Amino acid sequence: MKILFIGLVWPEPTSSAAGWRILHLVKCFSKIGEVNFASAALKSIHSADLSSLGVKEKSIFLNDSSFDDYVKNLLPDIVVFDRFIVEEQYGWRIAENCPDALRILDTEDLHFVRLARQEAYKKKVEVDYYSATAKRELASILRSDLSLIISNTEMHILQEDFNIPVEKLCYIPFQEEALNEEQIEILPKFPNRKDFMFIGNFIHEPNFRTVEVLKKEIWPILRKKCPEAELHIYGAYASEKVMQLHNPKERFIIKGRAEDARSTISQYRLMIAPIPFGAGAKGKFVDAMASGTPSITNTLGAESMTESDWNGYIVQDQQEFIKKSVLLYTDEHLWKERQRAGFEIFNSTLADSSYSKDMLEKVKYYKENLQEIRKKHFIAEILLQQQLNATKYMSLWIEEKNKKAQ
């Protein structure tokens, strides 16, 4: 069986949870067939070496019929689109050239949910999910044979708010290998750790806004209560507006990229993340649990990642956030208790490989019964025809325009 991933970018697992997520999916699908990965993006020095995993790599182009020749020759059985933007760009080409290929959309997180929350945060209004982006992303989900969803909150929104059939969706959260006692034992202990930290890719707007909240609202008070501590900020692709927040006198330090996130996080006593908006599941907290670093966040930060316990505290009130930060930073007994809770959450939920197994079983079933499934969800064919009439001819026009410009 041949599987083709079409990436918005080449995976960078050291830069973002999205890169780490897509790499996990690549490894999963490698269990059932030959995996190919194609992208029109340029590689960076941080791009994963997919060839070392036995994956065949291919550079492709936007709005270029050379892609048609590529997939006609490859004839993939399964195609995975990395985010709805990629499905919009290449979905119609796959449908036209490889009509029997199972089309799967990996949403990463629901873009329309994140953008709606961002808009509500900026304007201080109620969240309104019914946006132009929602129309595009939901159409992409409906066109696809199956969509992979990382958050059970997003599963709920899709089914309850937008009546997306559950058969079109597959819940696949972060999946990890269980931690053993040997791995736990070698982690730095409480006396050998110091300072607070936050980490997040700065291409992602919620991470920058979180750092703003820390800088302006949390740290001015917290640093007075913990006068020996510093707050270190990590994240790939830090822009000038991020670097301008660097202030050693205030013990607010912008560190930039962490080449090994878990090793870096394990040196700190506490992760603090008052996340103002966002969507999906937050990989930083997975890293924190694996690193034995307790964390304090709000309900949005912990969304879809826990039913009850946490490896620190989940608080909404800002004063309570600061109070709990001081308490957890200074109380070794409590710190060890919360650290242990993190290990237990990690091994009982994140290391539950049944989600990956169920996903692959569902994928194989859908592939074997594709025509019957498509008849049942015929609206996908209608939307696909509309996309062919619109996106296809726009893409062909852009291709011709580019040829004339050369």
What DSSP element (H or E) covers 253?
strand 252-256
Whether the predicted pLDDT of 402 surpasses 90: no
pLDDT of residue 382: 80
Banded model confidence at residue 245, pLDDT cuts 50, 70, 90: very high
Which comes out higher in pLDDT, residue 389 or 351? 351
CA–CA separation, 374 and 371 (whole Å): 5
CA–CA separation, 110 and 279 (whole Å): 7
- Facing residues of 365 across strands? none
Q: What are the DSSP calls for 342-391, one per residue?
A: HHHHIIIIIT-THHHHHHHHHHHHHHHTHHHHHHHTTHHHHHHHHHIIII
Structural domains in the chain plus CATH codes: 2-175+353-405 (3.40.50.2000), 181-350 (3.40.50.2000)
131-156 per-residue burial string, b: 16 or more CB within 10 A, e: under 16? eebbebbbbbbbbbbbbbbbbebbbe
Two structure tokens written together for 197:
């930290």
Q: 186: exposed, middle or buried (C-beta count within 10 Å: 0-12, 13-18, 19+)?
A: exposed
pLDDT of residue 263: 95
Whether the predicted pLDDT of 146 surpasses 90: yes
279-303 residue pLDDT tens: 988 999 999 999 999 999 999 999 9
Whether the predicted pLDDT of 63 surpasses 90: no
Nearest to 102 by CA among 367, 355, 398: 367
Average confidence score pLDDT of the chain = 93
pLDDT of residue 248: 97
54 DSSP 8-state letter? T
Whether the predicted pLDDT of 31 surpasses 70: yes
> Which residues, 6+ apart, have CB-to-CB distance to 121 below 8 Å?
209, 276, 277
Q: Is 58 strand, coil or helix?
A: strand
Task: Average the pLDDT over 85-102 and give the result.
Answer: 94
pTM to 2 decimals? 0.91
360-387 residue pLDDT tens: 999 999 999 999 999 998 877 888 776 6
